[in-house]
Structure formats: C-alpha cells, structure tokens
Amino acid sequence: MKFALDAMGGDYAPKSVVLGGLNAIEKSSSPIKIIFLGDRDMILSELKHSDTENIEIIHTNDVVNIKDKSSTVIKKKPNSSLVKGIQLLKENKVDAFVSAGHTGAIMSASLLLLGRIKGIKRPALAAYLPIGKRGKVLCDVGANPDAKPEHLLQSSIMASNYYSYVENFPNPKIGLINIGSEPNKGSELYQETHKLLTKTPKFIGNIEGRNILTSEADVLICDGFVGNTLLKFAESWVGTFTDEIKSRMDEKISFQVGSKLMKPIFKDLQKKYDYEEHGGTPLLGVNGISIVCHGSSGPKSIMNSIFLAQRCIKNDLLKSTRENISNYSK
C-alpha cells in the first residue's frame, strides 16, 4: 500500500509527520510506501540517515495554514502539500491521504477533488471513543455543523458501517444524542431525525448527555456542532482529570504510597484514553480514504492514522459504504 502524508500539516510538522511515517514503515505488518509532500529540504533534514527505500518526497511550495479559507485552498494554493496529496489520491497514485493540517481545508479539498459517494448528501467525520470493551463511534464531529435530518440518517449508516467493518464490531446499536429520552425532545432537527431513525432496525432511541458513556449504543449520532463540542470537551476533561490526580498525589505521604500501587492501572488508563493510540478520524462519504488527524498529533498519532487508513482499505470501507447507502436509497 502507498500513503500520501501532508508533511507540512500540524503543529509539529514536519518532524512528527516524518517520524510517524518512518515508524509506520518499520512497524507495519505488511509492506507500505510513504510519499511525503512538502518542503524537500525540511523533510530531508528530518529523515537524516533513515533508510529511504520505501520513501518518496514530492516537493511543494505552498503550505495551507489556519488562516486560509477552506473553500479557496484548491484555487489559491494548488501547489500546497495538502491539495497535492489529495490530488494523488484522486488520480489513484496512492491508496490513502493522511494530514494533521487545516481540518476544514482537508474536508473541502477532499469533497471537491474526490467527490461524494453516490447517494451521499453530506460527508461526516466519525471519531472512535475508547469506552468499555468495544468502544463507541461519535458521528459527526465537525464536518457538517448545519445538518438536516437526512444528513444525520446517512451519518448513522456510514458510521455503523465504519464501526462494523473497520473497528470490527458487527451489528452496532445506534443512539441519537439529545436533551431527553422522549421522542419529542430536542430541536426540530432532532425530532425529525428521531422519526427517520426509528425506521432503522438498530436504533435504540435518544441518548441523554449523562448516558453517553454508559448507554448500550455503539454509534452515537449528532450534528457536527454538537459532536465537535463533545469531542473537545472529552479531550480537555481527560487532561484535567489526569492533572488533578497528579496534584492530589503530592498532598499526603499516604497518597504517594497508594499512587505507587495504582501506577500500573493509571498507566493503562492513560494509554487507553490517549487519542494518539487510535490516530485520526476518517472522512466518511467521499470517494477515497482521507484521514483527518488532530492538529497537535505527535509521531504515534500519525503512525496510528496510517494504520487506521490501512484497516479502512483492507476492510473495503468504501465498497461497503457504497453498498449500504445504495440499499438505503432503494
């Protein structure tokens, strides 16, 4: 498999991207090739004396930054690492594209260059949450903040398909995040979405905020505004909770003794809830595997994002999505 990496995307680019790509080549269970797109000299300085047998560099002059308007990057920065990488995917020169750059620009360029899967109204971002033994998928987490009921219905189909084929947990239960469990709760968007979802066999109803982590639902559906807010709150809460525990450990000697006994458990939990362990999120609904990574992704997150893309390809995510959307349309 061949992957295009936006070497200039992210807070720690190109170092984290290059190291992540090298680690993926080394640890992958099957041979892979990495194409780094970006400033050649900067990439080479990070490669240093690494084995470049499975590496290719495509020099690009432009870099998409957070100030760039998402809808204009293709026109204004066609020679950027982000646009060139997605163009390679469109031309079938790579199997997937991975970037920790401007999320809006990745989504916009992926949509315009790759196009939507037939029948899809709006693409969606699906984030895996490491909760319990199976985990959960939250969708949408930012691609579509101004959604319509049919968009959320399609998000449930795409996210369920992703959970089944890529995360390898078939027949997931679907829940709709809402302010109450009754069907008539929430805004008009959520009431109408509830009506549509009741026609699907795996829908178990509305999920209130207090039950998100403990509900039977495997796939949690909401619009992109709510999903993005929830995801970022979860990220900040984990960090704050970890810092609070560390702070309390220093207060008493008895706490310090107890912390040494609990250290293995804390380490396991920290690893489980570290977003870098799972990598990025796939943009569902476009004709290609486009992985959106956290802007502050380190090498581990980039590596795991490549492995996520690998699983999407191996498990025919695009084919299964097309089939499920086609069946729904009928």
Instruction: Report pTM.
Output: 0.90
Q: Which of 3-17, 38-52, 255-269, 303-317 shows the lowest mean pLDDT across its residues?
A: 255-269
pLDDT band at 238, cuts 50/70/90?
A: confident
pLDDT band at 277, cuts 50/70/90?
A: confident
The pLDDT, as a whole number, for residue 248 is 73
Q: Do domains 1-120+285-314 and 124-278 have the same CATH topology?
A: yes
The pLDDT, as a whole number, for residue 255 is 65
Instruction: Specify the pairing of strand 96-99 against strand 290-292.
Output: parallel
Q: Which of 143-147, 177-181, 184-188, 324-328 shows the lowest mean pLDDT across its residues?
A: 324-328
Q: For residue 261, is pLDDT > 80?
A: no
CATH architecture classification, 124-278: 3-Layer(aba) Sandwich (3.40)
Q: Which of 53-67, 89-103, 212-226, 273-287 shows the lowest mean pLDDT across its residues?
A: 273-287
SS (H, E, C) the chain: CEEEEECCCCCCCCHHHHHHHHHHHHHCCCCCEEEEEECHHHHHHHHCCCCCCCEEEEECCECCCCCCCHHHHHHHCCCEHHHHHHHHHHCCCCCEEEECCCHHHHHHHHHHHHCECCCCCCCEEEEEECCCCCCEEEECCCCCCCCCHHHHHHHHHHHHHHHHHCCCCCCCCEEEECCCCCCCCCCHHHHHHHHHHCCCCCEEEEECHHHCCCCCCCEEECCHHHHHHHHHHHHHHHHHHHHHHHHHHCCCHHHHHHHHHHHHHHHHHHHHCCHHHCCCEEEECECCCEEECCCCCCHHHHHHHHHHHHHHHHCCHHHHHHHHHHHHHC
CATH architecture classification, 1-120+285-314: 3-Layer(aba) Sandwich (3.40)
- What pLDDT digit, counting tens, does each position of 127-180 carry? 999 888 899 999 999 999 999 999 999 999 999 999 999 999 999 999 999 999
Amino acid at 91: E
Domain boundaries, the chain: 1-120+285-314, 124-278
Amino acid at 166: V
- Looking at residues 28-38, what average pLDDT do you find? 96
Q: Which of 231-245, 286-300, 302-316 shows the lowest mean pLDDT across its residues?
A: 231-245
Average pLDDT for the chain? 91
